[in-house]
Amino acid sequence: MRMVLKFGGSSLASPQHIHHAAGLAAALAKKGTQVVVVVSAQGDTTDEMIENAKAVSASRSQREMDAYLCAGEQMSAALMAMALQQQCVPAVSFTGFQAGIQTDDCFGCARIQSVNPERIQAALEAGKIAVVAGFQGIDREGNLTTLGRGGSDTTAVALAAALHAHVCRIYTDVDGVYDRDPRQYPNARRYRYICYNRMLSMARRGAQVLHDRCVELARDNRIRLEVRSTFTDAPGTIVGR
């Protein structure tokens, strides 16, 4: 069994959060599952970095913005690997580049063109959890690129496809996909199952829970997506056929 787990920023907001998320990954690894963990930047790091860049320059080049923003996910990846090691689970972190993620050169909204998961594969075969920085890749020329806001979901699904993982589980701060925003509508209903196309149209209409490109990629590669809360045991929502 091979699984990709993705943790969003709110699931990684503090050292305690990182350890909790690491514990979820470790529990699966201890049962014999090969685990890849994809991480977002911690908490509101990306927003704060954008504000910081605006304070430095009014005319920010997209290339430099991507070079800068990639660092948020890289920090999370190294911290997650350290947390796993602290829990006595072998782990190794990778940038998007090291994970073999190649994109086009559309800075700020790059699309993944290919994934060469050799190093991830080797880490898994050596019994390690592979931790990958989400949201990033490199273009043909070797420039750092980012996949657009929320793009770590897409990294997770692209890796799941390249590694023939059975499941891609998206851990987040809501306990699944709802028919309406549960924060605004108290009687919103959670889907237990939802099909790719319905999920895709919700994501395109602005449902924040999943990056639209991630749903497309899951549909095209028939990857089962599970959207779950990091903080409760609720079964969440399965996105599939």
Interface residues with ligand ASP (CB under 6 A) are 8-9, 40-41, 46, 72, 134-135, 149-152
190 binds, among ligand ASP, Mg ion, none (CB under 5 to 8 A by kind): none
Q: How far is the first Cα of the chain from the last one, in angstroms, to the nearest whole number?
A: 20
63 binds, among Mg ion, ligand ASP, none (CB under 5 to 8 A by kind): none
d(CA 211, CA 200): 9
* Bridge partners (DSSP) listed for residue 93: 131
- Residue by residue, DSSP assigns 130-156 as EEEE-SEEE-TTS-EEE--TTTHHHHH
Min dist CB 57 to Mg ion, Å, is: 27
* Residues constituting the chain: 241
Min dist CB 139 to ligand ASP, Å, is: 18
Q: Shortest CA distance to 165 belongs to which of 213, 223, 113, 211?
A: 223
**Per-residue contact flags (x/-) with Mg ion for residues 140 to 159, judged by CB under 5 A:** ----------x---------
46 binds, among ligand ASP, Mg ion, none (CB under 5 to 8 A by kind): ligand ASP
Min dist CB 134 to ligand ASP, Å, is: 5
Give residues with Cβ within 8 angstroms of 236, minimum separation 6. Answer: 175, 176, 226, 227, 228, 229
Residue with smaller CB distance to ligand ASP, 36 or 41: 41
Min dist CB 35 to Mg ion, Å, is: 20
